[in-house]
């Protein structure tokens, strides 16, 4: 019998959630994603030391520029191993500044283009704040496609699709973490709050013909992945990908277009912010995620400064 990973690839585009080149080469995903935490982890590996030094040399002391150059260098290496796209993230500290987010995204794309890599192979990751969604809307209109990340609520998903975002990354595991702690109980399979969130978004998008791609992210266990087999894409850590690659047994498709969904709605800024305010989980996890990515960005800056 084929592995569960091979079966999953029949229903879903598999994306590697890592900057580990060895893991990507071994597991052969279609796409790959990085974020400040993954770039920080990659920066501690000996094989990336030369990239850190080169980034600092090219940036001539501009640490923000050095971080972007390093991120693009890692992205370039990953693209040599995959047939699809790399997602590269804008500095999380810009999450509440539409213009700064757009400008940073344009700079990242510019670096890829200077390296001979077309826009069709890159997604710019942006936090799903109201300001980030507006930046994504502007970028999409200019031909730069986006991956809206740190997405925890249905309201965020609606706003991202209405803005024309190419792809969203709802965070299954972090939603699960919040409810497990809040409710004092565990969840499995289709009852998992993170799984329910992605399934709801998936069916809403398909019912209303949104072109925005749904990519489940941040998994804690194989059960969450299996419950979302059939989702457009799933971005999975090397550890869980390896487990799927060794697991045997039948894997059924659990998400398909055509399921009933709720009526289409649209949100203005005040409605979006109110609905987020009413969703304690989404508000807390979004803020926490931005803080964590910002802290890891700062740690990466310290590593880069050590290369001077």
Kindly name the residue from 41, 53, 125, 285 that is annotated as catalytic: 125
- Non-local CB neighbours of 307 within 8 Å, separated by 6+ positions: 49, 52, 53, 55, 56
User: What angle (nearest 5°) sits at the alpha carbon of residue 229, between those of residues 191 and 35?
Assistant: 90
Give CA–CA dist 169/230, Å, rounded.
15
Q: How many CA atoms lie within 13 A of 47 on its CB side?
A: 10
CA pseudo-torsion sign 60, 66, 69, 74: positive
**88: closest CA among 40, 41, 114, 123?**
123
Whole-number Cα distances in Å, 242 to 20, 245, 299: 13, 5, 28
Give CA–CA dist 11/256, Å, rounded.
9
DSSP-based three-state secondary structure for 53: helix
Whether 53 is a known active-site residue: answer: no
- Greatest C-alpha distance within the chain: 58
Whole-number Cα distances in Å, 129 to 77, 124, 200: 30, 15, 20
Pair 255, 224: CB distance under 8 Å = no
Give CA–CA dist 125/103, Å, rounded.
13
What six digits make up the tokens of 225? 């992945």
Q: Which residues are catalytic?
A: 125
């Amino acid at each position: 019998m084929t592995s569960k990973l091979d079966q999953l690839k029949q229903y879903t585009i598999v994306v590697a959630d890592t900057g580990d080149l060895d893991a990507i080469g071994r597991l052969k995903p279609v796409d790959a994603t990085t974020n400040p935490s993954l770039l920080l982890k990659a920066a501690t590996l000996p094989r990336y030391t030369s990239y850190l030094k080169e980034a600092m040399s090219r940036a001539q002391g501009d640490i923000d520029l050095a971080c972007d150059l390093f991120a693009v260098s890692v992205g370039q290496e990953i693209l040599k191993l995959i047939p699809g796209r790399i997602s590269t993230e804008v500095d999380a500290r810009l999450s509440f500044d539409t213009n700064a987010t757009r400008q940073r995204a344009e700079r990242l794309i510019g670096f890829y283009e200077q390296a001979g890599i077309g826009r069709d192979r890159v997604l710019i990751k942006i936090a799903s704040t109201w300001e980030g969604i507006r930046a994504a809307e502007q970028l999409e209109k200019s031909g730069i496609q986006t991956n809206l990340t740190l997405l925890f609520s249905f309201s965020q998903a609606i706003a991202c699709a209405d803005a024309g975002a190419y792809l969203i990354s709802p965070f299954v595991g972090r939603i699960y973490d919040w409810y497990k702690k809040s409710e004092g109980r565990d969840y499995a399979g289709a009852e998992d709050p993170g799984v329910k969130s992605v399934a709801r978004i998936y069916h809403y998008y398909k019912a209303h013909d949104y072109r925005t791609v749904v990519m489940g992210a941040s998994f804690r266990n194989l059960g969450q992945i299996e419950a979302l087999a059939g989702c457009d894409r799933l971005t999975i850590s090397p550890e869980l990908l390896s487990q799927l690659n060794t697991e045997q047994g039948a894997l059924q498709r659990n998400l398909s277009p055509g399921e009933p969904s709720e009526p289409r709605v649209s949100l203005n800024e005040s409605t979006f912010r109110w609905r987020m305010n009413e969703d304690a989980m989404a508000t807390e996890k979004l803020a926490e995620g931005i803080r964590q990515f910002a802290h890891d960005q700062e740690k990466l800056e310290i590593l880069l400064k050590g290369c001077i």
